Amino acid sequence: MSELKVYTPGEVKEVLKLLHDKEKVRILAGGTDLLLELIKLKREGCVLIDLSRIEGLEYIEKKDEELEIGSLVTFTDIHDNPVINKYAPALAAASGQVGSVQIRNRATIGGNIAHASPAADSLPVLLAAGARIKVLNAAGAETVLVEEFLHNKDKYRNHLITAILIPVKGDNMIDFFGKVAYRRDVATARINMGVRTVYQPENGKIIKASIFLGALSKTGVRADLVEEYLTGKRVDELERERFFAALRETVDKSIPGRYSQPYKRRAICGLGDDFLQELQREGSYE
Amino acid sequence: MSDLKYVGKSIPFKYADQKIAGDLKYVSDLSMPGMLHLKLLTAGIPRGKVKEIDTTRAEALDGVKKVYTFKNTPRRPFNGYYWYRDQEMIKDEVLLTDYVRHVGDRVAAVAAESSETAERACELIEVEYEKQEKPILDLEEALVGGDALHEKGNPFAEREFAYGDVDGLFAKTPSELIFSDKMETPKVHHAAMENHACLAYPEPQGKLTVISPCQLIFSVRLIISTLLDLPLNRVRVIKGNMGGSFGAKQETFLEPLAAFVARDLNRPVKIFFNRRESILATRTRSKILGKVKTAVSPEGKILGRDIDVIVDAGGYTSNGDIVSAAMAKKISRLYRIEHQRYHSYSVHTTTPPGGPCRGYGSPQIHALTEVNLDRAAAALGIDRVELRLKNLLHPHEKDLLGGPDIGNARIIEALEKGREEFNWTRKKKANQKSGRSGRYRRGIGVACATHVNGYYNVYPDFSGINIRFYEDGSILLNTSIHDLGTGARTIMAQIAGEVLEVDPEQITVLEGDTDRSPYDVGCHASRGTYVIGKAVQQAAVKLRELLLEETKKLAKNLPGVKPEEKLEVVIEEGRIRIGSDHYSYQEIISRIQLENQQELNVNYSYHSQANPASYGAHFVQAEVDTFTGLVEVKDYVAVHDVGQAINPLAVKTQIDGGVQMGIGMALMEEIDFDQKGYPLNTNFHDYHLINAPAMPEIRVFLIEDKEPHGPYGAKSIGEISTVPVAAAVVNAVNDALGKFLTTLPLTPPRIIDALY
Amino acid sequence: MKINFILNDEEKTVDIQPDTRLVDLLRERFNLLSVKEGCGQGECGACTVIIDGKAVTSCLILVSQIEGSIIWTVEGLEKSGELEIFKKYFKKHGAVQCGYCTPGMVMSARALLNKNKHPDREEIRKAIAGNLCRCTGYNNIIDAITAIAEEGGFGV
Ligand code: FES
Ligand code: FES
């Protein structure tokens, strides 16, 4: 009584054709998000494009100042990968906190971005690092910022994500990922945060900070107030309370009046606190 | 103690190999030729009268055998709690309802050739409700709101238990010595890993057999026979292998439906729930809203206590009244309190029914009273362990409410042992030094608790045992035990083996089968080890006597023995000595069969002689992250007064498992509803259990001082192990925060809310 | 759809609806009843099997995705003799009560030992974080896995 049509193309161009030709099509990568809706997909008579036979989308490469990660790389592989741990440690950390071992063994980074659940753990770090993705459709290839992709999901609906491009973390940068959930392991983020800061090695002054919060909206929230506060300061000049206030205000602005607001505006300070400690540890400005 | 050979030993559980290898078939694994799958359509709204059900589209689906609703199923109301004839109770549940009382209520069922077809067909059933009525969710409102789900109205039951002069005491006690709390405990999902399942099939001669992973085969039989108008001998209920229960599978509500359909269609029928159904359409731990007022002298003597409880029975009565009485009966069995009153109302709400759940009200009532004691200790400046020690009962002290003798109650030793092992005093000092500042705050908590050992004096509490020797000296122990995964069969084998000096490996223990095994009340109320275990011990003693007696007859015929000569016949180390000659069981029993033409077979019925109290004292160190509200349990000591551990490893794992459930109740487990009555967490993604990283190491200590009527002095552990947990954890969190939080579970948002 | 894979060291080809879940294929077609379903949503781990060396929840995998994969269930470990050591220490440490979670636990533990021959208790906790057990409170399971790792002997 199957009403789900499943295609198993072996070539990317077949995928693109299916995406172009079929209605109600969904891409099946790892499946850990999509298959939660299996019954609904069947009921609606959806068409699945199973990517399991596509080769060549499971690579991790460093290219000059960018890491390129194939879209079908799993979170386990990202978490364990030494290159990623070196050049995008926050992504490695976030990947280690996605679901359980079993989920991480299946879930792919491409799937995580495409599905773009508001609480997805990879998104804040990708956003903070200014990551881009390569997408393809029948009309051709395009490289787009993750941020832009999330804001224009409709436009990219019938595209295939093939790779993620992440600017590498330089020696004068500090990356951070933090997550708060109601259970320490295997739980959905109530709030998460990805940070990339650039500082001047000579004096430890932060010259650029990019901070994104997740689980607040569908697209990730840029914590511009916090960025502003950090920029131009040395770590030892930071005032905890003012830093926290900026974090809180960011939360307040993004979910005013929401049931979860009182909790999240406090919990974010926990991540802020962790981040400050990280700054102190790593910020080798002395 | 040391002369015990099998009792007191950590013997691996029977069938463990099969479980590890996946060879053991659970009821959910069973299938039969021609078997149909029965899928329930459960209500998607909290409340409303069914106006019309259109099943035509479902019926038209290929592979659908029949669709059932209230129109074509028995209308006779029942209560899944019914286990002996003429038991008085409110019966307000039917197989399939025409009036929905909670999301998940049973509205229709489809029997189909495959489970997928049945599921699909359920989606095609169109239910129209007259209107969606107002939910009942708030317990205090339910009490006075005049809105009711059933004829009896709301509240549907009221209870009062009292002794001494409570009003007089409170009238004369200055208000600064009266300590009050209001506590809410959550509606908890049992979360047995195997979802609910059962299998029913027709047999020749109009007989119906049901295999169920249940706790009371004879109750399942009784309810089916009553609902389907069948004599008891036409219904056979077999306890199937079960993937956990914790009380969830104690009451009967699915089996009669499967049985009815199997009979109606003359085909085997299986029900296997999914997680959502197990959460919404079975039973839950009853939520309570409790108030307590305790009068304590400046020196720390508890003078009197007044408790008011509202029990949330959910959409159907189930045990919503009984659980209240069970809670009441704990209040006088832990501390010496001269004046006490317990009053309760039970109300129906538009939520899944409450029911039995590990501890049967005890974790709830202890959460209320043990958290409250901490408030008194803080106000009076008395150490919390000291305060408890001043009031705990001594062995055999009277239960002032009139309950059975508490027996060899060793809670004082348990608490003292725990204090020492936990390093209470040192940890307390360390906390005082660090003060309540900084992001992470540590606190320590303690709670004492008591629970039962069966039903003595309240309900019939007896157990039939059949035990026999095979001719090679191995043994068949035929009981109606229901092994819920706790190792009950192994425990029974250890007891029988000890008596008969036979290796438990050589003893087959059968579980319940209403056609083949002797009657037993069921595995609940912590009566397994204490009552059934005792029955096994006594039956084994009888078998031992029989063996000796028959051997003596045999001895007369031994070559060279003169008829008048009396040879000494004794059992020594699993062998029989006749005079100075030793024989194996095998040699003797074979000859008894051949020469005496006698089977070594004992039928024995034992009824419980007492209902002593089991005790536990738990100590917790918790660390609270004041930014995120997350709590980590850092250290955990559990001390239990068990009389005698039959299998220490089994006791330890019971305690660890009990602690896991209790921490969940304290910190994260709650079936939650929105204001309209829709459940918010109906899967393990949203309903969190304690998983491995969240579970602390548990340091377990046992006080083993024998209980007179227990088998080898043993008493219960399975339920009591979870009773003090929530209270102890909450006390530790409260200590860390300097607060008295009383709305459970203490979820991160609740903790943050209390702090800011 | 025809699908080829290696199941417990045997080559298999099945002709099956591609939207069938792996858990159903294993249970219904191959009668591998060690693979349990406790939630159907990847949250309990009862359906854990090993695919290409890694623990995965078979309730969240469609059979179309397993072409060419190497799949192990507890039945396979039993056949290969590897299960013996799990039996020995799971029993010894009281890691099995009702047993419903056990095969899934064994598979998660086995996959962990593929990757990490000497896991500490914390690492074991993380490795089985996606395997819920309501009976044991996990500590005994962690004891058992620790003992298995100590005895060792697993090739990668
Ligand atoms: S059944 Fe697959 S994880 Fe629960
Ligand atoms: S042993 Fe029962 S769920 Fe783990």
The predicted structure's pLDDT at residue A286: 45
The predicted structure's pLDDT at residue B435: 75
Instruction: Tell which atom from ligand 1 comes closest to the C-alpha of C47.
Output: 2
CB neighbourhood size of B457 (10 A):
13
CB B685 within 8 A of CB C40: no
Q: Where are the beta strands (DSSP E) in B420-497?
A: 440-451, 462-469, 475-481
Among B120, B439, B755, the residue with its CB nearest the CB of A1 is B120
Q: How would you classify the pairing of strands C2-7 and B36-42?
A: unpaired
CB C41 within 8 A of CB C60: yes
Domains and CATH numbers, chain A: 5-50 (no CATH), 60-167 (3.30.465.10), 173-282 (3.30.390.50)
Residues near B82 by beta carbon (within 8 Å), at least 6 away in sequence: B89, B91, B219, B222, B223, B226, B252
Q: Where are the beta strands (DSSP E) in B549-660?
A: 569-572, 575-578, 581-584, 601-607, 614-625, 631-641
Average pLDDT estimate for C98-117? 97
Domains and CATH numbers, chain B: 31-133+196-272 (3.90.1170.50), 284-453+610-755 (3.30.365.10), 457-607 (3.30.365.10)
CB B245 within 8 A of CB B719: no
**Which residues lie across from B606 on neighbouring strands?**
B463
Q: Which residues of chain B make contact with A43, given a CB cutoff of 8 A?
A: 123
Tokens matching residue B504: 């438990």
Answer positive or negative: Cα dihedral of A181, A187, A193, A196: positive
Alpha carbons B260 and B266: distance in angstroms, whole number = 10
CA distances from C48 to A30, B339, B689, C83, C112 (A): 15, 55, 18, 15, 13
Read out DSSP for B625-636? ETTT--EEEEEE
The predicted structure's pLDDT at residue B297: 98
Q: Which residues of chain C make contact with A6, given a CB cutoff of 8 A?
A: 1, 18-19, 62, 64
CA distances from A226 to A120, A213, A250 (A): 21, 11, 8
CB neighbourhood size of B749 (10 A):
18
Q: Could you tell me which of B400, B170, B194, B196 has the C-alpha nearest to residue B307?
A: B170
CB B704 within 8 A of CB B637: no
Measured in angstroms, the CA of A231 and the nearest CA of chain C are apart by: 37
User: Residue A17: is its pLDDT beyond 90?
Assistant: yes
CB B600 within 8 A of CB B469: yes
Side-chain-side CA neighbours of residue B341 (13 Å)? 15
Q: Give per-residue pLDDT as tens, B683-692.
A: 999 999 999 9
Alpha carbons A276 and B115: distance in angstroms, whole number = 54
Q: Do C78 and B21 make contact, defined as CB atoms within 8 angstroms?
A: yes
Provide φ and ψ at B691, rounded to 5°.
-105, 180
Is there a cis peptide before residue B696, judged by omega within 30 degrees of 0? no
Q: Which residues of chain A make contact with B755, given a CB cutoff of 8 A?
A: 266
C58-C59-C61-C64 Cα dihedral, nearest 10 degrees: 100
Q: Could you tell me which of B283, B261, B228, B201 has the C-alpha nearest to residue B38?
A: B261
Q: Could you tell me which of B693, B743, B32 has the C-alpha nearest to residue C133?
A: B693
Q: What's the farthest any 2 CA atoms get from each other in chain C?
A: 45
Tokens matching residue B460: 């019939």
CA distances from B366 to B287, B415, B724 (A): 13, 16, 7
The predicted structure's pLDDT at residue C155: 54
**Which residues lie across from B604 on neighbouring strands?**
B465
Among C35, C38, C126, the residue with its CB nearest the CB of B195 is C38
Q: Could you tell me if the CB of C114 is within 6 A of ligand 2?
A: no
CA distances from A192 to A112, A117, A211 (A): 15, 12, 11
The predicted structure's pLDDT at residue B475: 98
CB B212 within 8 A of CB B238: yes
Q: Could you tell me if the CB of C130 is within 6 A of ligand 1?
A: no
CA distances from B646 to A159, B532, B534, B618, B652 (A): 64, 13, 12, 21, 11
The predicted structure's pLDDT at residue A285: 47
Interface test with A, best of C60, C126, C128 (most A CBs within 10 A): C60
The predicted structure's pLDDT at residue A202: 87
Residue stretches of chain B with pLDDT short of 70: 1-2, 560, 563-564
Q: Is the Cβ of B63 closer than 8 Å to some Cβ of chain A?
A: yes
- Strands, sheet with B178-185, edge to edge from the N-terminal-most edge strand: B157-163, B339-348, B302-314, B287-296, B178-185
Alpha carbons B258 and B223: distance in angstroms, whole number = 12
Q: Which residues of chain B make contact with C101, given a CB cutoff of 8 A?
A: 193, 243
CA distances from B359 to B184, B367, B510, B724, C50 (A): 17, 12, 26, 10, 38
B410-B412-B414-B416 Cα dihedral, nearest 10 degrees: -150
Q: Could you tell me which of A91, A167, A164, A100 has the C-alpha nearest to residue A122?
A: A91
Q: Is the Cβ of A105 closer than 8 Å to some Cβ of chain C?
A: yes
CB neighbourhood size of A133 (10 A):
26
Q: Do B668 and A182 make contact, defined as CB atoms within 8 angstroms?
A: yes
Q: Which H or E run contains B749?
A: helix B748-755
Side-chain-side CA neighbours of residue B56 (13 Å)? 2
Measured in angstroms, the CA of A269 and the nearest CA of chain B are apart by: 6
Among C21, C65, C129, the residue with its CB nearest the CB of A52 is C65
CA distances from B517 to B243, B477, B509, C155 (A): 22, 10, 11, 48
Measured in angstroms, the CA of B343 and the nearest CA of chain C are apart by: 33
B95-B99-B100-B101 Cα dihedral, nearest 10 degrees: -90
Q: Do C19 and A36 make contact, defined as CB atoms within 8 angstroms?
A: no
Question: ipTM of this predicted complex?
Answer: 0.98
Within the 180-199 window of chain B, which residues sit less than 8 Å (CB to CB) from chain C?
A: 190-195
Chain C: list its partners (3+ Cβ pairs within 8 Å). Answer: A, B
Domains and CATH numbers, chain C: 2-76 (3.10.20.30), 77-152 (1.10.150.120)
Q: Do A50 and C18 make contact, defined as CB atoms within 8 angstroms?
A: yes
Q: Find the length of chain C.
A: 156
CB burial of residue A196 (10 Å; 0-12, 13-18, 19+): buried
Ligand nearest to the CA of C41: 1
Q: Could you tell me if the CB of C107 is within 6 A of ligand 1?
A: no
CA distances from B705 to B120, B401, B411, B650 (A): 58, 25, 11, 18
Q: Which residues of chain B make contact with A185, given a CB cutoff of 8 A?
A: 691-694
CB B525 within 8 A of CB B452: yes
Chain B: list its partners (3+ Cβ pairs within 8 Å). Answer: A, C
Rg (CA), chain B: 27
**Which residues lie across from B508 on neighbouring strands?**
B476
Q: Is the Cβ of A188 closer than 8 Å to some Cβ of chain B?
A: yes
Q: Could you tell me if the CB of C137 is within 6 A of ligand 2?
A: no
Ligand nearest to the CA of C106: 2
Alpha carbons B725 and B10: distance in angstroms, whole number = 25
Q: How many CB pairs under 8 A join A and B?
A: 60
Q: Could you tell me which of B12, B701, B9, B717 has the C-alpha nearest to residue C95?
A: B12
Q: Which residues of chain C make contact with A99, given a CB cutoff of 8 A?
A: 42, 130
∠ Cα B641 B642 B646 (to 5°): 155
Measured in angstroms, the CA of A200 and the nearest CA of chain B are apart by: 30
Q: Is the Cβ of A263 closer than 8 Å to some Cβ of chain B?
A: yes
Alpha carbons B482 and B73: distance in angstroms, whole number = 30
Average pLDDT estimate for A153-161? 93
Q: Could you tell me which of B454, B164, B181, B489 has the C-alpha nearest to residue B338?
A: B164
The predicted structure's pLDDT at residue B563: 65
Alpha carbons C141 and B142: distance in angstroms, whole number = 44
